[in-house]
């Protein structure tokens, strides 16, 4: 598809519920090495609550879908994940205000807005071993593909590839933020769970919208 609409956003968020449930143990295992061993549990809980909320009262427009998801995540997800993912979707909602459809450039702008919110909220930079290390290269790759007149598939594929590379690179980084930073050099050699869940989020968008 070359455009996405409100129903496509709903489909993406419902797919995220499935993805985080499926990867709950993996994310928790990654977090056990350098964190509180609850990242997978929290992501599964949060997006299950989002899906349940949509079943009760699906929002009427694109911005409403993302804002509703943000509020549910902030309310139900513990640790840093709730505020960070909640902020991601809240800022992404702002990028969709008044829109009924988004093309490839609009999708890149949605993820860029979400990234900016995460950076502001978490005060993380590239190399800190956080979700930013997956999101930042992904957004840059999406923007380049969109500026080169890439179609939706090309923009999303670029984002997925860059996010995966960024996620894998966190294994070689020393954590400088959050609980993992307390481990110092012992955090090296472990892939960051937040970067992993961010990669899964972008891949789910590509899987949903490329097959919709």
pLDDT in tens, 110-121: 999 999 999 999
Average pLDDT over residues 188-204: 94
Which residues span the domain enclosing 144? 4-210
Q: What is the CATH number of the domain that holds 36?
A: 1.25.40.340
pLDDT interval class at 179 (50, 70, 90):
low
pLDDT interval class at 152 (50, 70, 90):
very high
Q: Is the per-residue pLDDT at 21 higher than 80?
A: yes
Radius of gyration of the chain (CA): 16
Spatial CB neighbours of 96, under 8 Å, sequence gap ≥ 6 = 61, 62, 63, 66, 102, 106, 110
Domains held by the chain: number: 1
pLDDT interval class at 137 (50, 70, 90):
very high
- Percentage of the chain surpassing pLDDT 70? 93
Q: Is the per-residue pLDDT at 95 higher than 70?
A: yes
pLDDT for residue 105: 96
Average pLDDT over residues 49-57: 95
Cα separation, 45 vs 81, whole angstroms: 11
pLDDT for residue 44: 97
Cα separation, 122 vs 59, whole angstroms: 28
Q: Is the per-residue pLDDT at 100 higher than 70?
A: yes
| Mean pLDDT estimate for the chain | 92
Cα separation, 193 vs 199, whole angstroms: 10
pTM (predicted TM-score): 0.95
């Amino acid at each position: 598809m070359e455009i996405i609409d409100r129903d496509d956003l709903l489909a993406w968020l419902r797919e995220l519920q499935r993805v985080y449930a499926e990867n709950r143990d993996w994310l928790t295992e990654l977090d056990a090495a350098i964190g509180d061993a609850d990242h997978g549990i929290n992501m599964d809980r949060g997006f299950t609550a989002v899906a349940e909320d949509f079943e009760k009262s699906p929002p009427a427009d694109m911005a409403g879908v993302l804002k509703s998801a943000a509020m549910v995540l902030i309310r139900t997800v513990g640790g840093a994940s709730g505020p960070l993912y909640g902020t991601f979707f809240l800022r992404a909602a702002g990028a969709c205000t008044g829109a009924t459809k988004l093309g490839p450039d609009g999708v890149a702008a949605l993820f860029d807005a979400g990234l900016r919110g995460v950076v502001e909220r978490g005060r993380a930079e590239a190399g800190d071993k956080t979700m930013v290390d997956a999101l930042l290269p992904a957004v840059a790759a999406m923007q380049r593909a969109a500026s080169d007149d890439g179609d939706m598939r090309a923009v999303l594929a670029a984002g997925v590839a860059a996010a995966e590379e960024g996620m894998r690179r966190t294994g070689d980084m020393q954590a400088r933020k959050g609980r993992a930073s307390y481990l110092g050099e012992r955090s090296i050699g472990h892939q960051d769970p937040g970067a992993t869940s961010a990669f899964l989020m972008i891949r789910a968008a590509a899987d949903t919208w490329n097959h919709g």
